[in-house]
Structure formats: C-alpha cells, structure tokens
Structure 1
C-alpha cells in the first residue's frame, strides 16, 4: 500500500458553553480544526485531525498547519502508511519540530493501518485493556457561583471526574475551592488546573491552605523547573501538562520524579506513534495519565480514545469527550458516551467518517 494523495480541510468548532476560559486571561469561543485525508493506491482512505486550543495554549498554531503540511506532503507521498514509525522518522528528518502537524498525518496513517488490517486501532496499540473509560468534565474559569453551577450540572449528568480551572487571585481561589469542597462526594476525582499561571510561593500557599482537600494540582507553574521545585514541598499530588512537549521531556520528568500524573495530549507529541511510547513509559513507571487532546471533533476524540482504551486500567486516570464540547460535529462514529464514561467501537481503524459538508476546502491538495 502506498499513499497517493494528501488533502487538508478546515472546520470551525464553536464551544458549546458561554466561553472556554482559563488562567492568564485566555478565553475562547471558537477553534479552528484541520482535518487531513490520506488516499492510497488500494482505495483506502485515512483521516486525522488536529485542533489547537487557541494560539496561546501550547506550541501549536492552526494558521501554520497548512504550511507545515505542504512541507511534509512530498515526503509522505509514496510511503506505506502502515509503517508508522518509519514514516514518523521520515517526517522528523523533513521538518524540525511542529509535532502537531505531524500528528494529523500520523493519526491518518493509524486509521489506514487499522482499515488495512480490518481491526480497530486499539487492538494494534496493545489490545482492549480499559473497556469503560472514565471521563472528566471541565469547569471553566468564571465566577464562583457559575463554577459551582457547572460542577453541579456535570455531576447530575453522571460525571465523577472534574477538572476545575484555577487562576483568580490565589486567596479567591482558596475561598472558592473551600466552598466547592462542601459538595464533594466519595469516589470523585478533582483536578485543580492552574495552567502554569502561579509563582511557586503562590501555589505553595494554595496547597498548604487546602491540604485537607483530596485534590490533584495540574501544571501549577509555567516552567518544568518551577514545578519540580514546588513538588518537593507540595501538599498535593502534581500532574504535569504544558511543560512536557516531547518524549525526552517525559523521560526527564520520570527520572527526576517530577510528577504523580501527566496529561498526554496526542497532537502535542506528534500523534499516536510517539504517544504510544510515552504511554508505555509512564505505565511502566506507575504514572497514571489523562489521555486526551487539546481540542477537536469526533476524529480527534476517536484517536486518543483508541490509545486510552489500550492503556492498562490502573494507569488511565481518565480521558474526555471533546466532540461533545462543540456545537458542531465534523464526523460520525465517535466513541459512545454513557453516564460519565466512554467506550470505543469495533469498527476498523478509528471507526469514524468525516462530514465533508461541514468542512471548508480543500485548503491544501497534494
């Protein structure tokens, strides 16, 4: 099998809530998704999707994706998409960095691999190890009253894992968390996500003030070094996200004992090929993971859900259903969501079919 064509489309994903807000004054209502379509000489088609969470969240910019894909396309045309590691190495030689652009191609290759084998991708990533995956729901940064209302709504819908965005004044966030904690229920998992907004002294004060609360603190400071320094005196488990951007970063964090958990966003690391390696490294080290992506529709959800489903249950902290965060669906066949959990299907590949009518383009055709 050989890749004969690469086509890219764009789709607008509007957030289903009022605004997706987090620390640092960042707030978004709409995101731009890029969908890559790979065609082959055997008539199979593979799909991949990357949707950065705005231009200021991680090193990924939706406006730069077409230029990166145009650079990569000549190097993947003619390649066998089933040889995912070989193709990823070729992309790395052709373009330094820009893992998010490579992710769109890599995910489409895994879709093709699954379709060629007649198997869902999770089987090829290790087999179905977590049949029912717990989902977390995000409580965006807002007024304490609005955040309490969002938390109650998610709980009523069956969710038991919550990512609570922090980033007000530290004293205000301490008061807010104390108020929210009065509704805490046994079996719930709470993550306070700071998105790197605080200094070490600020997060130390927050953690000390709430040491009685069963809470995971995610990305408390901007840099890896600050997070590592804080971890030595933290009163809560530490989960890392934004400061980990490569396999080498994760290896360093494991060696330094810098984290108790991590967020594994598939597009940030370059797709399923490197993410599978990170998943296995963390599982071997006993580090639980939230396996997800920055944003996206049903295509992105299907991709990371395949990785999450093939993760040993003790090391899957949770995942999420990004396609339900949007008012628009760009694909059919996304994983099924029931009572705060998600299951993957048994269709070959990613199991999804894009709705081309919802997409703009082609914006690139090679």
Structure 2
C-alpha cells in the first residue's frame, strides 16, 4: 500500500477535546494515517451511494488492521436526505451490529454525511468517538471542522443537532479529483467566505488563483484548505459553542439558509446558496456603512468567477421579501424573533448585527433583480 504524504497539520485547541486536521495526498488508503484515530472495539463507516463506489473499499482496507470489525452503512446522497429518517438508518446499523460505547464512527463523504455521522455519534449511547473523512472541498475547508453536527427540519436548516467534536479530521486532497465541477464551486464559496470576515490577504489570493483552484491544481488546493482550516481553528478555539465570535463564520449563511429552505433542500447546493448569500450580506453591509460599493462589486465578481450564482431566487411572487424574512427568523442567530446578520464592518472584519427590516427588504429586492453588481 502506497504511503500517504502529510503536507500540513492544523490543531484545534480545545483542552481535552482538541484534535488535529491532517491535510495531504494519498492519506485515505494509508494505514499510517489512522494511527491517531480513536481506538475501539469496532468501526462503522458512514458514507453515501455516490462516495461508496469510489472510496469505501480503500478506507475499509486501511482500517482493517486497527479494528476487530469494520462495518458500513451507505446512505442516499443529498441534502434532501439530511433528516430523521436517514439518521435512523445509522442507528439501525449500529444497533444491528450490537455496537458498544467503544465503537468508532467514520464519516466518509461531504457535509451532509459529516453532519449526520457526527450527530449520530453524539447521540448513540450518549456519545461515541467519530472521525471526519471529508471528500468534498466544502467539507474539508468548513463543515468537517469545529464540531457542529445536525440534521435539517422542513422549517429550518441545521436546527436539530449538537456540538460534538471529532477525534481526527483527515483531508486527502486526492479525493477532490473526482469531485464534480459544481461541487467544487460550492466548496469555493466557503473558502471565499474567510476573506471578508478574517483575512483580506486570503481574498486577494483566491481572486488571483481562481483559475488554478477550479483546475484542481494541487498546490492551490493545499493552500486553500490549510489556510481555511487555520482560520476556522482560531475561531473555534476561541468560541467553541458560538457564544459570540464564531458567529462570523456564518457570513452569507442567514440569507443562504433561507434560499435552501425556501427552494427545497437540494435545489441549490449549500455552497451555491452561501455564495449568493454572501453577495446579499455584502449589499446589506454597504447599506449599514461597513463597506463601499467597490468592495461589494469585487466580492460579487469573485463569487461569480467561482462558478456560483449571484442573483438571488424569488421565493414568493406575492411577497418575496416577506418570505425571506419569515425563513430567516428560524435561524440559530435570531434572538426573541429578531434576525441578526453577519455584516462586514471593514474588509477582513465582521460582526453580528440587527438591521432595519426596510433595509433588508431593499437588499432582497435588489439582489433578486437582474442587476446584482
């Protein structure tokens, strides 16, 4: 079996819940990769029907020397299946195999698989270890890191879940080569996000390297994943449970989650909704005096260059802005029914703020029109 190459390690500092993110090539099938993984009586790999034919056998073989038994459960692919019914398939598999408290769950897939596996691990026998093995760019730079686990509810995205940290995250850049172009673009939304909220230099770099990123250049992907994970590690280490600072990681997500819920989960990919949501949040930031029109135009160009939508969908012909507002009220950042938004105070610095409803309506109306720049 060929040896993997670790290019970088990023540590999440959370006392006894801390863990490493290994970033490299050829890591998935290398038994040495998993020496840091939690020990246990058995392993259960949770994946989906798209990823399983590509990488399940490879991970099974790599884990076989470490566990007495390696079980699998293959879920249907897509955001539409991020629900109680699908989650119960994981519990059915665990109970069917008589998995005990020393079973270790492995999430082999994108953000949906990672979120559901983490939530299952948090709930099963009140908590068993799990490992994130993200196979999409979005999951590698964002959802696999930080311990947010959840399923969707018809009224709101990720509203049922738990904070539960993995024991290890393994980002094998090689798996991104089988990623469809649309999924790659969706992941780039989460990379772009880190620039306006925390690192203008990263935004400059992404703008200059969009071509190599979309062409799956190894060095460009490695830098994007490492820097994104470094920023998220800093934020999560300072605010694990989103009491304040961590909320900035939701830049574009308040509008984006409304788009996903309003259109029906899976109509747009999460990253597509976030990309458009960032454009909407930038317009709101401008109206609140945080950034100028030139920055909004620049961010819109970068989002478009990533292959992401910049024009927001109409969710209700009769009262479109009202529909957005009602969906955004079902948001984890809302307090006492008051919607709070992540806005850019200045490039590289963000905050959580309320906004006058009339201003938000203007933003929605504008961003749902033909002209978004």
Tell me whether the two structures share a fold, i.e. TM-score over 0.5.
no
**Bigger fraction of residues in strand:** 1
**When the two structures are superposed, what TM-score results if normalisation uses the length of structure 1?**
0.31
Q: Which has the higher contact order (CA 8 A, sep 6+)?
A: 1
**When the two structures are superposed, what TM-score results if normalisation uses the length of structure 2?**
0.31
**Bigger fraction of residues in helix:** 2
